[in-house]
Amino acid sequence: MDETLKTELVRQGTEELQNKDAWFPRDSNGRSFSKDWFYIHLDNGETMLRTWLVFSPVNNAAYCFPCMLFQKAKWKSSFGKSSGFNAWRKLSPRLLEHERSSYHLSAFTIWKELEMRLHKQETIDAAAQLAQQMSFEKWKAILVRILDCILYLARQTLPIRGHSEDLNTDGNCGNFLETFKLLAKYDPVAKQHLHRVQRTDGYIVSYLSPQSQDEFINLLGDHIRTVIFQNIIKAKYFAIMFDSTPDISHTDQMSQVIRYVQIEDSGVHVTESFIDFIQLYRKSADVITKQICDKLQADGLKLEHCYGQGYDNAATMAGHISGVQKRILDMNPKAISTHRWDILKKHVPIRVKRSCNTRWSSTHEAVCVLAEHTEKIIDALEALRDGPEETSETGERRVGRRKKMDGENSCDAGLTLIQETSREQLEAIDQLQAEIKKRTTQMNTLHQRFAFLQIQTLLDTKKDDFIKKQIQHTCAQYPELNAASMLTEITRLRDHIILYKEVNPDEQVANWSALDLLRWVYKWKLQESLTNFVVTLRIFLTITVSTASCERSFSKLKRIKTYQRSTMSQERLSNLAILSIERDFNVDFNSVVEKFALIKSRRI
Ligand SMILES: [Zn+2]
């Protein structure tokens, strides 16, 4: 019997091997083993278990556990042999004799010694495990504090590193270490950690070094991005928004924003999430298109689920942008593009009306707004043209023209102020016309597919023909939609809404937006009876790119990549940007720490 087996048997103990409750067969003399033999009968009437005695029902024999394992060969008694003891007639004297024999007592002692050693070992192992666990909990507590400090600084777009990172000098050691020191003034965990690091003068792992800071920034950024991708995949449909601007080191940074409709227990939200800054090296349509497609693939997002594309600033990618749009549309015909009205809206005090091709009066209103606010719209267009996002190419063109307008050019010398002003106005109006035309075309596409989603249209039975026609058109564009089912759903929806209006007469149903409508459907859990309609609403809300998310990211870019911090890596820039832009994101520190521990353990 080898040592490992012996150790294992000792570890398991004899209780299972004893077979105290077995059936004991009779021998030819009519005698058998009995349960009684497992017990020592004390004089005071009590009994005590013989733990060394085991019975094998297979061999119909009794054995001594320690003697089987540890008895020296020259001492072998029947209880220690493989055949065992089965002379039941002689059991009574032999058992007592064996129990008191020196060789049994010796084997018994060896057994008990080993048992004690094993028990002790287990205790040591358990203690080591506990210590390890406690040490992990301790480090987790420290790491969470470090991560929170970094997250705080990133959200405030404050620089993280300092010129000196020496904790033992009195000078300023950068925002991160100074924040951690501040925390340590009040928090015992941070205090203890800082104290140890200072005392050992950096000879222990502190996770406070610039390298660790970088690692944590990237971990936090990746964490947020991973959760966002999960949400996008859950939403299925998404729209991409790309826009670029030169950064402080004159590198063109393309901002990637994704729009999607989140449906959760907490409600329905249209979300535009910043994902990354991507460096643009060459501004040609094919290169940009490839960069965008590669990026989506790397993100695990399928182009076939991309139903909308928006490129905020036409000037940014100059003429190439139409090329990018067209190429992506060729790859996925559902990825229709929409254009932002925000820059127009920013400059015009009242809303530029949408041109609506079903009502001539609305077209009239739209034109009136343009007529009344021509100057402001021109300002808006100039802002579009002269915005900071412009490429150097368009920038040069502008400078050239401005010089001419200053009268430096000989052929301009004779122009009067009025002539010059009117020429400038005409130029602006030309641009205005081009911009309006582009937006109107895009609006029309949207309108042709989704106008029936407007609540007034939906509720108007006089528009049934229009609705029917449009649904057929829309369902032809999106094969996942079924026109016949959609029509019955619309009838059902009308009933639902009419009933709702009766119960809630104060509710301004007629003013509901598409998002209000979708929220209402989910609030009252009507989605299962309106499956096609719900998908249409989701698609519509996904593709109507309308907010200034890319621009929001540019303002962060300017605050993150400053003159002092102009050399930072692209990864760091992107991650700092996502931390500050997605500042309301609920970071799960536990999962970040676990990921960190996993990376560390792989390296060892
Ligand atoms: Zn024995």
Domain ranges for the chain: 3-100, 118-208, 215-340+545-603, 343-451, 454-543
Report CA(151)–ligand 1 centroid distance (Å): 68
Report CA(95)–ligand 1 centroid distance (Å): 9
Residue 581 and residue 228 in contact, taking contact as beta carbons nearer than 8 Å: no
**Could you say which residues of the chain have pLDDT below 70?**
73-75, 201-203, 312-322, 338-415, 435, 438-439, 545-549, 564, 601-604
pLDDT at 102: 86
Residue 454 Cα distances to 28, 517, 531, angstroms: 99, 9, 17
Report CA(190)–ligand 1 centroid distance (Å): 60
pLDDT at 358: 39
pLDDT at 397: 36
Separation CA 520–CA 517 (nearest Å)? 5
Report CA(506)–ligand 1 centroid distance (Å): 93
Long-range contacts, stretch 404-413, CB < 8 angstroms, 24+ apart: none
Report CA(26)–ligand 1 centroid distance (Å): 24
Report CA(25)–ligand 1 centroid distance (Å): 23
Give the predicted TM-score (pTM) of the model: 0.66
CA angle at residue 248 from 246 to 251, to 5 degrees? 45
Report CA(33)–ligand 1 centroid distance (Å): 17
pLDDT at 219: 95
pLDDT at 390: 39
pLDDT at 519: 93
Report CA(116)–ligand 1 centroid distance (Å): 19
Picking from 355, 540, 542, 337, the residue whose alpha carbon sits closest to that of residue 452 is 540
Return the amino acid letter for 269.
H
Return the H-helix or E-strand segment holding 595. Answer: helix 589-603
Report CA(55)–ligand 1 centroid distance (Å): 13
Report CA(428)–ligand 1 centroid distance (Å): 109
pLDDT at 382: 64
Report CA(66)–ligand 1 centroid distance (Å): 6
Report CA(105)–ligand 1 centroid distance (Å): 7
The pocket of ion ligand 1, defined by CB under 5 A, consists of 64, 67, 104
Separation CA 251–CA 505 (nearest Å)? 57
Residue 137 Cα distances to 130, 141, 244, 274, 594, angstroms: 10, 6, 44, 33, 11
Report CA(18)–ligand 1 centroid distance (Å): 14
DSSP state of 355: P
pLDDT at 374: 66
pLDDT at 331: 86
